[in-house]
Chains A and B, each alone.
Chain A
Amino acid sequence: MIRNTRRLFRKKQGKHPYLLNNDQISKPQTAVSENLDQNIYKLSEVYDACSDVVFRRCQLFGKTKAAIIYIEGLSDVEGIEDYVLAPLMQEAEAESQTIHELLELKLPVSKMKKIYKLADCIESISSGNPVLLYDGGSHAWSLGLAKWEKRGIEEPIAEGGIRGSREGFSETLEVNTSQLRRIIKSPALKIQHMKVGRFTKTTVAVSYIEGIADKGLITEITKRLERIDIDGILESGYIEELIEDNPYSPFPQLLSTERPDIACSSLLEGRAVILVEGSPFILVAPTSLISLLQSQEDYYQRFMMGNLIRWLRYTFSALSLLLPSLYVAILTFHHEAVPTALLLSIASSREAVPFPAIVEALLMEIIFEALREAGVRLPKQVGSAVSIVGALVIGQASVQAGLVSAPMVIVVAITGISSFMMPRYNAGIAIRMLRFPMIFLAGTLGLLGIMLGIIAIVIHLCSLRSFGEPYLTPLAPFKAEELKDALWIAPLWKMDTRPHLTGDSNTYRQSENQEPNQGKGRPST
């Protein structure tokens, strides 16, 4: 039997060939020819059956044949008309100037680039920059006139907050990098672009602060990104799954956020940020469990409030993992462990319930998860109404019908609320997922099973790494110096040192004596 199971899980031998696709076969690596017609012929062959590609032939200054090639909707048509075609179609006054000089003189376009290969022409056209080809030139011009419809900067939907910036990232990479740049104005903020995905050619940007982030980390990230050879990247989630350290862990090893302020605080801590074109969610590496439990507002509020709220969050994170399983364990095995009055109340409310506690718990938890998922997927207009009705039906009607006990509904409700307290959505999912095996363990082995489950989770967490950084840092390995931002939040003026991540670090992040009011209330003279 074991042999059979082994066969079941054996990896398929042999590598499958990932063939070069049409795009690459047809992509002419040849240089731009001096003959315009030949160039246009080659390009129109590439763009065969692409009716949105526009080839516009014209006469340069009345003497040279030329063509502008762009894709409809990706380029600024008005700009092409006003700033390219209009000046180009004027007759040249002086005969002496060469075409090259005339172009530099007459075209009021700020971003112009000479390109020499047809492949570069194609790339430029695909990303929205029109290409100007002309007879007799051994190069083409890429004009920076890309313009397409995009969403404006809006409030981050998945990560709300009371205090702090209301801006969120959007789908446009340039807007996102500009948001980072607007917060960190130093030229030490580096942003490196690269293209990932054979068809999508998604731009992925790695951003870090030179002098704070470890160079080894950046090399590692770049290396892992370059390894990716895949058809397309549609969301930063693809990148996350392709570069994380341990793909079989339920815990996310990269923090994803749509808030520029969180991205910048991570940058200032020496982490690197990965931005992906087309996704408002950016990735932060390396990440620890503690940083998934930190919210930006812990720092924006005064530190006492921050401490209070952070501990509330820690407690409820544990509750959201353990509460249903504790309830099941105590109700099936450890009846003596609850106060008598409480047990009597639970006993009387469970009297009519036909299911054992574990079935009841699983049933309710699954229905709750379904409700939540439905609430996310449903159209906005009906979403809230349906989820409220669902909650009412499940909460009240099922109790009245005697299918589910009222304490169980309370337990599920508290668990649900506490799982919403996780500031990072993907960390919440991990805990939601682990809740079910914990309920199973509780239903079969009682509190002993819960202990075993916790031990297994802790061992797993200890073995996790995120880009070389242990996942439980600063708790394991223990770093007393960094507890000030993990177990509690020290006041801002006391947080002199940066967290030490991989490799070298730049130790201090502020000068000493930042404590306010050192003159004990007397105005300084």
Chain B
Amino acid sequence: MKRLIQLLIACSSMLMLGGCWDREEVNDLAIITAAAIDAKENNQIELSVQVFVPQSISSGGSGGGGGGQSGGAAHTIVRFQTGSNLSDALSKLQSKVPRKIFFGQCKVYIFGEELARRGIQEHMDFLLRYPEPRERASMYISEGNAKKLLELQPPLERYSAEVARELSSMHIGMEVPLQDLDEMLIGSGKAAALPYLGLLPPDKGEKKIQGIPYILGSAVLKEDKMVGTLSGKSTRGLLWIRDEIDNYTVTLKLEGEEGEISVQALTNHVRLIPHISDDKWSVRIKARTEAMVIQNGTNLELSNPDSLRAAEEALESEIKKRIEVVLQQVQHEMKADILNFGRAFYRKYPRQWKENEHRWSDLYPELNVEIAVEANINRQGFIDKPGGLPEEAVKKK
């Protein structure tokens, strides 16, 4: 017992010695919700952070519920600082913020377009090396200056970073966490695609500041430098090839028919099949999709196998067209392998890959790409005949 008490005293004094060194109360934190990095002249950069203002959500227990959105104080403020690199800017920025800047909850990082064209490697190093930033944080490139996106005060979410994150989590465009961006840049392709953010201006009547960031398309990086952008439609094609397409709605125009048919995806599956014969490298993109009809504007009865086949063929060619568009841009114009072709070859032909890795940048634009799409429409929705159309007008083949 005596020993136990001695041990306890010794242990408790150890608590006093070792404890508390990194203790930080929530009241003393400046919680960063988003960070933007822009290029400045003289090779300087500007770090802007969106700081959450705790007082903005009802304080002191006066009924937490709906306080805030309209009229109240802004939920976030923006602070910025130039510096020669990120850590330099951050240390200077700290002198402008009375609380400790805390990146642990920052889930959105936006690179300005100019900075991205200069190269993001050294900034990536900081984000990956410094303990606070999350590896699951989403990465973006903005059209023009990135700082302006942080200053927005969206009407529907608490802060603009949340808008960007929610939008990309819907898989309309790319969603790239920090970790994945790192893997893309060091992987076999040595290229990356990031969501490309634009500013959706506010409607008439809304305050000027109430715009939101939205996803314009994708920005393509080769090595660590931005080389171009893809439109929203091309991004869909990109998602197809990367097998990241989740949900789509395609509107089809059938040959020789009036009106359009819209279908929505049920399942999608895309495979890249690389092939090497006689030193000729080629890739076959094999896509399978199942879809359901959500609107039928024609007078076709889709329960008829012939009409259905026609619709399926139209869907196949539509998907093929989307893929071809992005291939043209990415493979032949930008010459950036964000399509995972390199990885596919590495997996199937590891030895040939190793021998030819150094000339992949030459091989890639010359690749012969074949596209095979197999589409099935196997659900009609609640009705089979065109809705609201008299029986006689329905065309039966």
Contacts and interface: CB of A to CB of B under 8 A. Distances in A.
Interface in A330-344: 331-333, 335-336, 340, 343-344
Contact of A344 (B19, B25, B158): B158
A344 B33 CA distance: 10
A335 B54 contact: no
Interface string A228-257: 000000000000000000001000000000
A346 interface: yes
A185 B19 CA distance: 61
Given A336-B104, A336-B105, A351-B54, A444 B15 contact: yes
B9 A5 contact: yes
A180 interface: no
Interface stretch (B59-67, B183-191, B229-237): B59-67
A331 B4 CA distance: 31
B56 A348 contact: yes
Contacts of A399: 60-61
B1 to A, nearest CB: 6
Contact of A441 (B15, B24, B25): B15
Contacts of A406: 61, 64
Interface in B83-131: 102, 104-105, 107
B59 A348 contact: yes
Interface string B16-48: 101110111111010101000000000000000
A350 B134 CA distance: 24
B90 to A, nearest CB: 17
A353 B105 contact: no
A449 to B, nearest CB: 8
A344 B59 contact: no
B20 A444 contact: yes
A356 interface: yes
Contacts of A11: 2
Contact of B26 (A5, A248, A331, A445): A331
B60 A335 contact: no
A478 B152 CA distance: 60
A440 B16 CA distance: 10
B352 interface: no
Interface in A310-354: 331-333, 335-336, 340, 343-353
B15 A346 contact: no
B57 interface: yes
B55 interface: yes
A9 interface: yes
A375 interface: no
A332 B54 CA distance: 17
A449 B19 CA distance: 9
Contact of A347 (B2, B16, B29): B29
Contacts of B58: 348
Interface of A: 2, 5-6, 9-11, 248, 331-333, 335-336, 340, 343-353, 356-357, 396, 399-400, 402, 406, 440-441, 443-445, 449
Given A333-B23, A444-B18, 16 more contacts: A6-B2, A9-B2, A9-B6, A248-B1, A335-B31, A336-B134, A340-B105, A344-B158, A347-B26, A348-B54, A348-B56, A356-B23, A396-B61, A402-B61, A441-B15, A444-B15
Interface of B: 1-2, 4-6, 9, 15-16, 18-20, 22-27, 29, 31, 33, 52, 54-62, 64, 102, 104-105, 107, 132, 134, 158
9 contacts: A6-B6, A9-B5, A11-B2, A333-B23, A335-B26, A335-B29, A350-B26, A396-B61, A449-B19
Please name the 7 residue pairs, one residue from A and one from B, whose CB atoms are nearest each other, closest first: A444-B19, A336-B104, A348-B57, A348-B54, A399-B61, A347-B54, A351-B54
